[in-house]
Amino acid sequence: MSTSLTAPSRRAFLSAASLAAAGAIAGPASAQRSYGPDAAPTRYPDPDIVSIDPKRFRAKLGNTAIQRLHTGMGWAEGPAWHATGRFLVWSDIPANEALRLTEEDMKVSRRFRSPSGFSNGNTFDREGRQIAFRHFNRDVVRYEPNGSTTVLADRSPDGPFNAPNDGVVHPQDGSIWFTDPGYGALMDYEGERVRQSAESPRPFQKEAVWRIDAQSGSVTKVADDPFKPNGLAFSPDYRRLYVADTGKSHYEQAKNIIWVYDVVEGGRVQNPRTFADMTLDGKAGFADGIRVDEDGNVWSSAGWVGDGYDGVHIFAPNGDRIGQIRLPEICSNVCFGGARRNRLFMTASQSLYTVMVETRGAHFC
């Protein structure tokens, strides 16, 4: 912390202490906190890691702190951890490049992939090959060990994709599940703006969740209930699919929620319903990228509200909000990494943050 107290009254001091102990959401420390190279050490426990429900949010460590690892990007997105190579890959979408951080020295290598096709999300398949979801090219690609690029899908049976956004690999059958909200086709800053009618913010087709079959390569629609499906993640047993909906950005009737589906045979889903509402203290921001830990808790990036809200919100398997990590920037996505998958990486606007947690990611990326 970089703040100091000058002759505080006993009453004011005790009041502030009680709020900190309760993990109050009001008056976030991040509003005054410095993450620069000359920042003072953070006093444990980190005041920006909040246990809303201490009995269920057991991932909080008393002697760990949020760290900023890198900054200077336009819009950081799509973190994915390579378990064998022990490195993190993520996107700087406006810069049209992907970056890499190596665990050995925690150093960042820019232009890991440049140009990147204004890629957003990234993940790795069972063979450790990087898969990227590209805005500019409006496709899903795989980078091969020999340096070549394989286009896995660039259109659906209904026509060209809007702009694939984020995705995950189902390890049991190798299929790739991804979202197509179309943000990269709405602006040149994150892709290429395409002509659209004044009546509809939809560039090509209805926004949806799609699945690429690992054997045939066929593309099928999984769901189109969310107005703009964004981040997605499976439960630890792969029996549930969670989908963040950011449709409120363009559709008045949309809600700031995370959906959940039951996954059934044949790569299908059923029983769409609301898993969690992003409203907190009367303010509703967006859930964007999401991941699930080994206990089935959903870790969701959160943003577009301000201090005290932006960062990461953690939900129990029943949808209750149990914890929060407050960041000084809008958080776009999260990923568990490190040798034990107990290091949470957070891409947030211009920066990359990390914090150690007492849980592990349910999946490898």
pLDDT at res. 29: 54
pLDDT at res. 316: 98
Q: Do 301 and 331 contact (CB within 8 A), yes or no?
A: yes
Omega within 30 of 0 (cis) for the link into 164: no
Sheet holding 49-51, edge to edge: 49-51, 321-326, 311-315, 298-303, 286-292
Q: Do 34 and 41 contact (CB within 8 A), yes or no?
A: no
Q: Rounded to the nearest 10 degrees, how much is the dihedral formed by the CA atoms of 122, 123, 125, 129?
A: 50
Reading the block at residue 338, the tokens are: 């490190």
CA 177 centroid distance within chain: 15
Q: Do 117 and 135 contact (CB within 8 A), yes or no?
A: yes
pTM: 0.91
The 10s digit of each residue's pLDDT in 9-63 is 333 333 333 333 344 444 455 557 888 778 888 889 999 999 999 999 999 999 9
Reading the block at residue 100, the tokens are: 């890499």
pLDDT at res. 38: 80
Using DSSP bridges, classify how beta strands 351-356 and 67-71 pair: parallel, antiparallel or unpaired.
Answer: antiparallel
Q: Which CATH class is domain 51-356?
A: mainly beta
Q: Do 228 and 245 contact (CB within 8 A), yes or no?
A: yes
> How is the chain split into domains, by residue range?
51-356
In sequence order, the β-bridge partners of residue 314 are 299, 323
pLDDT at res. 89: 98
pLDDT at res. 30: 58
pLDDT beneath 70, residues of the chain? 1-31, 196-199, 201
Question: Which residue is it, tokens 């409203």?
Answer: 279
DSSP calls for 311-328:
EEEEE-TTS-EEEEEE-S
